[in-house]
Amino acid sequence: MFDYGGVIGTPVERYLVEFEAQQGYPRGALMKLLFGEDVFAENPEWTSDTPSVSHNWHRLETGELDILAYIDDARIRAPEVIGREFDIEAFAVFMAEVPIGVFWPAVHRIRALREEGLALGLLTNNIKEFGSTWRSTFPVVDLFDVVVDSSEVGMRKPDPRIYEYTCEQLGIAPDAAVFLDDLPVNIAAARSVGMETVRVDEDILTAIAELDAILARRGTGVRSR
């Protein structure tokens, strides 16, 4: 089971530092404004009682808000969070120019696993307005048996229910799954429901090697590439 951003697609959040510098915003202020947290922060304190929805970005990802309401809220809160008005128009131009990269070694390994007959699922926190864009970056339908988008099911990681739901769609028990994600909080939640996990950091090849080691130990997905 694979996450999208940070595992298959490059995470656009990492470009925020560049925009902050261009606009003269305090370092980290835009992350706080848009996401309410540092989404890449280590979070060993996560428990099953930690809320999965606590910011409007989360509500956007669960389909409770649309993008226009989200932007209006960010505009209103901006002076308090970043110390000045948020230039939405400049940000829209900037994000439109940000390249959406793909970690092709991950895609190639997923294709090989599909050819070997493994059940494959994609579990992503995403927003409805971005759906057609991220799905166009690689052959989603060709590679995955199940695709679970948070904005379509009304749940988001790290809510344990969305992992269990994805497993149900795949017809497997959670302890039969291996889950790859780049965010520590999502990894912790996956482990809480019994999944084996791979944390994807800067090097996708290291993560693939770790996945292959798990599959070899389980006696599956080990055919030569």
Q: Which domains does the chain have, with CATH numbers?
A: 12-97 (no CATH), 104-218 (3.40.50.1000)
How far apart are alpha carbons 46 and 59 in whole angstroms? 19
Digits of tens for pLDDT over the chain (225 positions)?
A: 999 999 999 887 778 888 999 999 998 898 889 988 755 555 555 676 777 888 999 999 999 999 999 999 999 999 999 999 999 999 989 888 887 889 999 999 999 999 999 999 999 999 999 899 899 999 999 999 999 999 999 999 999 999 999 999 999 999 999 999 999 889 999 999 999 999 998 899 999 999 999 999 999 865 544
| CB contact at 8 A, 10 and 103 | yes
User: What would the two tokens of residue 174 be?
Assistant: 């959670």
DSSP string across 141-159: HHH-SEEEEHHHHT--TT-
Strand 146-149 with 121-124, pairing? parallel
How far apart are alpha carbons 202 and 8 in whole angstroms? 12
Give the SS3 label for residue 156.
Answer: coil
pLDDT of residue 42: 54
- Spatial CA neighbour of 157 closest among 50, 32, 31: 50
How far apart are alpha carbons 222 and 141 in whole angstroms? 23
pLDDT of residue 80: 93
pLDDT of residue 224: 40
